[in-house]
Structure 1
Amino acid sequence: MMTDKNKLLNEHSIIREEPPLIPEEPVKILTKLGLSSIKAKVYLALLIHQDSDAKSLCKQLKKPRQPVYQALSELQEDGLVEKTLAKPATFHAIPVQSTLQLLLKRKESEMAQLEKEAAAQFRNFEVDCQAAGGAAPSSAGFRLLAKNETDPSKSVYKLGRAVADSKKSVMCLTTARLFCQIRDLDEGVWRDAVKRGVQFKFIINGVEDMELRLHPELCSSRCFAVRFARSGQQACVLLVDGKEVFCRIGASLDSPVLWSDAPEFVALMRDYFETKWRMLGQR
């Protein structure tokens, strides 16, 4: 049975029990954003006790000297902690909002790099598989592309990759606005393809004429031609090598894109394009 004295001591210890110095949730968030656990705790401790010296931080965190000093050094390199030249030297954390912006920007940069590396590796993997006699990736027939596959800023941009890998021809039915947007993003890809002998044909709907503002290499190339149509749908159709077709259902880069390699559909779109091309050439 607990004595009155023990009971009193126990109650006293409960009353005096303090919450942990560093809340757990902010530590988890900062570690998800790329900081190690000790760096997150040191940063948060400095937010609570600005202008602390390293010795005080060790006491507050109940951590050995070496990991705390190492964390302080790395946080300074990251730009999240600043050091005041004094004796002893003191440290203070930059504002939370600035820290989150820096860490998120770094995370976005890392993800973009990873996306590029992954796309390149799997592209090489597909080529190696086919060279080794493996089956080519199965065709989907018709597929509505994911948003990142239609975004020119992404490394998995399927339309740009198709043009970059083209062997014979690229036919594009588009609007003046889309042409200018795509030109600004992909003109380098066009130039490389033209040097390989790929034939480009553009039909620009909705205008009788316009200033194309193309690189001189494209202007002088026999492989690159543009015709204008005064009327037409506000959409974009891209045919590559007569094997696959992309239909952008709308007049902006944000519009959804339907992809197909179904032979009948590709042939239908190719015939439509070539018929319109011939008609425009007769004007």
Structure 2
Amino acid sequence: MISLSHVSKSFHGKRVIDDFSLEVPQRSILSLFGPNGCGKTTVLRMLAGLEKPDQGIVVRNERSAPSVAMVFQNFKDSFLPWMSVRRNILLPLVLRGVAWKAAERSLAALLELLPIQFNLERYIFELSGGQQQYAALLRAALLSPSLLLLDEPTSALDHYHRQELLGYLVELRQRLGCSIVCIVHDLEDALCSCDRIVLMNGAGSASTIAREDFSSFGSYRENAYRYSGLALPSALQPPLQLPGGFRRSLSQD
């Protein structure tokens, strides 16, 4: 298990994270939900060891340092454009001393779990944004991390492929035995795939909802969006009052 204990972080004099605590149990999927600028990516970077808190500590309850893989929001910048997608995916594993052929076998096994619909021999700039996002996830998962950090893993995907990828995360957790922490901007995505949801707001505070409370969470969706300072999605907004007494829901076509 890895945890943040009473951490605070400021940038240019502005407090982004204030006395924030978080536990990531082993083999769990946890999502961070909140508005832009509330510190979600900063939390990921502290878990990865890329950002040091100004106050508080990062606790790793393991005998050895955890193996961490992170997919950044600007994942496109980490691909080498002169290499095929396949070699880009294999490269981090090879740099760890694994032979190319052995890395290929590991990738073949992973593709049985995460089937893709594009050619790995293409270059990264020849893929759609959603395909690039899948490739970035494959590359991170191939390292078999104990902690997988994903910054908006569904941002370039349509609704169908978002649900598909979230299902893959559950399978990855089971296969790799890893913990997954991801940033989402759709509360429904978090509800269908995660064990815990951490609601963050712009004031530097947070509230955690555990899976056992999800069944009664339907009536709290509006409160979750309001707590995080986000606009309600159309499905949760009240119907429009039209002339003549008619009502029309914004969620309808």
TM-score (norm 2): 0.26
Higher percent of residues as strand: 2
| Higher helix fraction (1 or 2) | 1
| Higher RCO (CA-CA < 8 Å; seq separation 6+) | 2
